[in-house]
Amino acid sequence: MKRMIGQCLREKDPSTYNRLELFWNKEKKRRFAHMTIETALRLLTIILVLAWLAFMLLHAVGYQWPQILGLEG
């Protein structure tokens, strides 16, 4: 029967296996936090792009169109 690497390590050096298991569990939590940060940054980017597009639209309506239509004072 084929043995897994974790089983071999557990038999040879249980303390090392325990440290590796703790490290792996901490990394799982960090990866989750990292994904949360990635999602927040992606959302922030989308919000900033939408705000920039809204500003450009307001600028076009408020500044460019009166010039095009000859409504300057």
Overall number of domains in the chain: 1
Examine residue 72 and state whether it is found in any structural domain, yes or no: no
Burial 16-32 (b: 16+ CB within 10 A, else e): ebeeeeeeeeeeeeeee
**Residue 73 binned pLDDT confidence (cut-offs 50, 70, 90):** low
What would the mean pLDDT of 3-17 be, rounded to a whole number? 80
Examine residue 71 and state whether it is found in any structural domain, yes or no: no
Q: Does position 63 have pLDDT exceeding 80, yes or no?
A: yes
Examine residue 44 and state whether it is found in any structural domain, yes or no: yes
Range of the domain at 49: 5-66
Examine residue 37 and state whether it is found in any structural domain, yes or no: yes
pTM of the model: 0.50
What pLDDT does residue 1 have? Answer: 46
Using a 10 angstrom Cβ sphere, with 0-12 exposed, 13-18 middle and 19 or more buried, the burial of residue 43 is: exposed
**Tens digits of residue pLDDT in 11-39:** 888 888 888 888 888 877 766 667 788 88
Examine residue 30 and state whether it is found in any structural domain, yes or no: yes
